Amino acid sequence: MYHFDEIADRVSEKSRKWDRKIIEKKFGSVPENFIPMWIADMDFKMPPELEKAFHEAISRGVLGYTYCYEEFYDAVIKWQYDMHHVTVKKDWITLSYGTVSTIHYVIQAFCERGDCVMMNTPVYDPFDSAARKQGVKSIYNSLKLVEGRYYIDFEHLKSQLEQYKPKLYLFCSPHNPSGRIWCLEELTEVARLCKEHNTILITDEVHGEHIMYGEFHSALNLTDGCENLILVTSPNKGFNLGGLKTSYSIISNEHIRNRFRKKLEQNSITSPNVFGIIGVIIAYEQCRPWLAGVNAYIKENYELFESYIEKKIPKLKVMKMESSYLAWVNIQETGFTSEEITTMLALQAGVLVENGTHFVKDGEGYIRVNLGTQKDKVLEALRRMEKILR
């Protein structure tokens, strides 16, 4: 039904991922036949149901101001219940303009200059940059690597919470860059410690729709700790709608929710993007078969990637990609740094991957590879990597 091998025209789209000027500014002079596997953006065409809905919106001939109408709330509530087994009330939901900007507003709402926030590292860089841009200090809790899998160092975390008293804990679930899915016991302990130390838990669940192995638990599943929780998410990663810049938060605590909404009002975050709100509704209501299909396709890409590297590029070690479409690869046995490998692959092979040092801290010795693309591109990238790293 869906043709994920079909190649979309990403150049005419003016995609950041495929734009040569942006790429050469980041990587240098790359070959003409480059394969971009860096920014977290999939190369698959949108679900046809979404395309149809957007065409219908255009055909009406007007793109005026809109509002968060009931269909939006109904779609979010049903999606969270059906997909993540949680009951959400309409009043808890607040629409905003993307999860990254939402994290900025959260920091503005709950922190003063000189305060600090906590995060596990390595981690998605906008967490740290959001803190820095608001004049807030980041406290890094390094993840422990045990037999090729990340774990939270709870003893160290407890010590840091006691010492630094962070206002917020920016928590990526599932984890980006590794794809690690946190189990319910781990989420429970994180929430317990945050509650004990009066730290608000900010959980980013945008990668929670791409589950490859295991079971994802939303933080909203916690029986205790939700009263101190701000959950941020969107369909942008699941359905590749990042350009719509539309997301939402779920906050059950009325005091926290009102304080956050006041900050949004101060920044004039009011009526939503016309296509953004349509995108949320149609993705959630009509596009579940597409999501299941794209997840199956990505899983095949990952298994191809993992098997090929294990057999033909054994100096690379792929961390189990439990979720997302982003493979976290240990390159330490090559003897090269992350910067050297990234540059070598880009300039000599035209394979563009993300440097592990871009993930705040503890990312040296790794690269991140985007597998959300056509299978033949994954295979060609692997062949080029093998040739360079052999």
Domain boundaries, the chain: 20-46+288-389, 54-286
Is 253 buried (19+), middle (13-18) or exposed (0-12) by CB count in 10 A? middle
Low-confidence ranges of the chain (pLDDT < 50): none
Whose tokens are 């010492």? That residue is: 163
Contact 233, 205 (CB under 8 A): yes
DSSP state at residue 143: P
Give me the pLDDT at residue 225, please.
63
Fill in the DSSP letter of residue 211.
B
CATH architecture of the region 20-46+288-389? Alpha-Beta Complex (3.90)
Q: Which of 376, 384, 389, 366 is nearest to 150 (CA)?
A: 366
Do 294 and 132 form a contact (C-beta atoms < 8 A)? Answer: no
Q: What is the pTM of this model?
A: 0.96
Task: For residue 54, give the H/E element and its range.
Answer: helix 48-59
Q: Contact, 320 vs 336, CB < 8 A?
A: no
DSSP E strand boundaries for 61-127: 93-96, 116-121
pLDDT score, position 338: 98
Q: In what order do the strands lie in the sheet with 168-172?
A: 93-96, 247-250, 229-233, 200-204, 168-172, 116-121, 137-142
Q: Provide the pLDDT for residue 227.
A: 86
Cis amide prior to 122 (ω within 30 degrees): yes
pLDDT digits (tens, 9 = 90+) for 47-85: 999 999 999 999 999 999 999 999 999 999 999 999 999
Q: The CATH number of 54-286 is which of 3.40.50.720, 3.40.50.2000, 3.40.50.1370, 3.40.640.10?
A: 3.40.640.10
Distance CA 340, CA 287 (A): 41
